[in-house]
């Protein structure tokens, strides 16, 4: 089964215009889609596969309100990778961190730091703690979502419920 998400996780209550879902407490996930499609690499910032200049600008602006992590996953049937970075007060404070699972001899981008669990490390940096029997990723419900489409669907349902 695939797990392919990308977006910004805030360490504060997000009240902006972008689609978002509450993860736990005041941690919110803002999913982003590359409007140019996955083959349009001119706007993608290396070593990421989905982070654009526009999304990084949003990340930087949000980081003035509190710590924010940008995360990407790309898994299919077990093998895959994850990459993340953390921003605070308009500056990158961690990353990009990258991890590979089930991939022999992965190509490690020179601009990324290879670690064991890239997203968990970033989540710890923004204040997320693991709960009993779970890592940070699952403690904050990121494992509930398989794609950004699922996240956006949950957002749409919550918006409809607010209007009722």
Report how many domains make up the chain.
Answer: 1
| Entry pTM | 0.92
Cβ partners under 8 Å of residue 33, min gap 6: 148
Structural domain range at position 54:
2-163
Helix ranges restricted to H, 22-65: 53-62
Helix ranges restricted to H, the chain: 53-62, 118-125, 136-139, 148-163
pLDDT tens digits, the chain, 164 residues: what are they? 789 999 999 999 999 999 999 999 899 999 987 554 555 555 889 999 999 999 999 999 999 999 999 999 999 988 999 999 999 999 999 999 999 999 999 999 999 999 999 999 999 999 999 888 899 999 999 999 999 999 999 999 988 888 87
Q: Round to whole Å and give the CA distance between 69 and 47.
A: 15
């Amino acid at each position: 089964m695939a797990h392919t998400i990308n977006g910004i996780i805030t360490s504060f209550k997000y009240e902006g215009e972008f689609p978002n879902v509450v993860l736990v407490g005041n941690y919110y996930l803002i999913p982003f889609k590359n409007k140019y499609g996955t083959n349009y690499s001119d706007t993608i910032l290396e070593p990421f596969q989905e982070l654009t200049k526009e999304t990084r600008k949003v990340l930087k602006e949000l980081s003035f309100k509190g710590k924010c992590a940008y995360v990407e996953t790309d898994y299919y049937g077990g093998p895959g990778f994850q990459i993340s970075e953390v921003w605070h007060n308009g500056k990158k404070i961690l990353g990009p961190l990258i991890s590979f699972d089930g991939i022999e001899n992965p190509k490690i981008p020179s601009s990324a730091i290879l670690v064991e669990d890239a997203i968990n490390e970033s989540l710890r940096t923004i204040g997320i703690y693991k709960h009993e029997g779970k890592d940070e990723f699952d403690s904050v419900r990121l494992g509930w979502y398989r794609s950004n489409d699922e996240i956006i669907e949950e957002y749409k349902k919550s918006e409809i419920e607010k209007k009722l």
